[in-house]
């Protein structure tokens, strides 16, 4: 699904009797990268051991914060950056910028049903220049792309998101080695990324080290 909301808005359930209030709904996007900082916090581990891309989830889960610590979130298909979302501090809007989208099949479908897998690069995707822009608060189905005539902050949104993407990419340089190379995952299927449209789950793209 790449960066489309249909593949991102997956519900999560947390239960901790005596610590988390029952029935509370958190309508904020989070990331699997948030689990490690959360576990570190709960274990009272204050020693810095690596660059953390995630945020401690407990203030959000306990109702002490209303917003995620992620002003920007970056959405990948495999190891290809497809989209980024921006939740500005001074706005209720949540903007999503798509740089690359998968080519769904058959024409008009919302998945890759002909191939069973949505590939992440090459002829299987469309690169957008300028990128596609959506306001997820008003258009969660991402049906109506915005332009300079329909969004007053159009140029600012694209500029801010582009700068955030560059900061993000710089943060990946010279960090931990890639854990998803073929030699690391070939005999460990539980580490292999799951790409494609459910229930057709598999990944055949080349994962570069």
Domain ranges of the chain: 5-29+70-191
Query: What does the alpha-carbon distance between residue 97 and residue 131 come to, in Å, rounded to a whole number?
Result: 6
Go through the chain and tell me how many residues it has. 209
Task: Please tell me the predicted confidence (pLDDT) of residue 199.
Answer: 47
Phi-psi region of 150 (alpha: psi -120 to 50; beta: other; left: phi over 0): alpha
Residue in 83, 71, 115 with CA at minimum distance from that of residue 7: 83
CA 119 to chain centre: 17
Task: Please tell me the predicted confidence (pLDDT) of residue 128.
Answer: 97
Residue partners of 141: CB distance under 8 A and separation at least 6: 5
Cα-Cα-Cα-Cα dihedral sign, residues 76, 121, 160, 26: negative
Cite the DSSP H helix spans in 100-176. Answer: 154-172
10-residue mean pLDDT series, the chain (209 residues): 82 93 92 93 90 92 93 91 92 93 88 85 94 96 96 96 95 69 67 52 44
What is the three-class DSSP state of 5? Answer: helix
Task: Please tell me the predicted confidence (pLDDT) of residue 207.
Answer: 38
Q: Residue 130: is the preceding peptide bond cis (ω within 30°)?
A: yes
The answer, as to whether pTM is greater than 0.75, is: yes
Residue partners of 155: CB distance under 8 A and separation at least 6: 148
Task: Please tell me the predicted confidence (pLDDT) of residue 85.
Answer: 96
Asked whether the beta carbons of 197 and 112 are under 8 A apart, the reply is yes
CATH 3.30.1120.10 holds for 5-29+70-191: yes
Task: Please tell me the predicted confidence (pLDDT) of residue 125.
Answer: 94
Quickly count: other Cβ atoms within 10 Å of residue 13's Cβ: 4
């Amino acid at each position: 699904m790449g960066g489309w909301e249909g593949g991102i808005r997956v519900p999560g359930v947390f239960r901790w009797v005596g610590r988390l209030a029952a029935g509370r709904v958190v309508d904020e996007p989070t990331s699997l990268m948030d689990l490690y900082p959360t576990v570190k916090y709960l274990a009272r581990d204050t020693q810095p051991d690596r660059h953390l891309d995630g945020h401690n989830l407990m203030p959000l889960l306990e109702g002490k914060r209303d917003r995620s610590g992620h002003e920007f979130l970056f959405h990948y298909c495999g190891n290809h950056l497809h989209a980024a979302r921006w939740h500005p501090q001074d706005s209720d809007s949540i903007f999503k910028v798509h740089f690359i989208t998968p080519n769904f099949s058959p024409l008009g479908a919302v998945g890759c049903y002909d191939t069973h897998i949505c590939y992440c690069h090459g002829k299987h995707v469309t690169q957008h220049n300028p990128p596609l822009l959506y306001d997820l608060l008003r258009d969660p189905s991402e049906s109506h792309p915005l332009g300079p005539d329909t969004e007053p902050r159009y140029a600012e949104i694209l500029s801010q998101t582009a700068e955030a993407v560059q900061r993000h990419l710089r943060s990946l340089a010279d960090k931990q080695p890639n854990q998803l190379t073929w030699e690391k995952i070939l005999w460990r299927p539980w580490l292999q990324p799951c790409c494609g449209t459910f229930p057709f789950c598999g990944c055949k793209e080349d994962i570069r080290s």
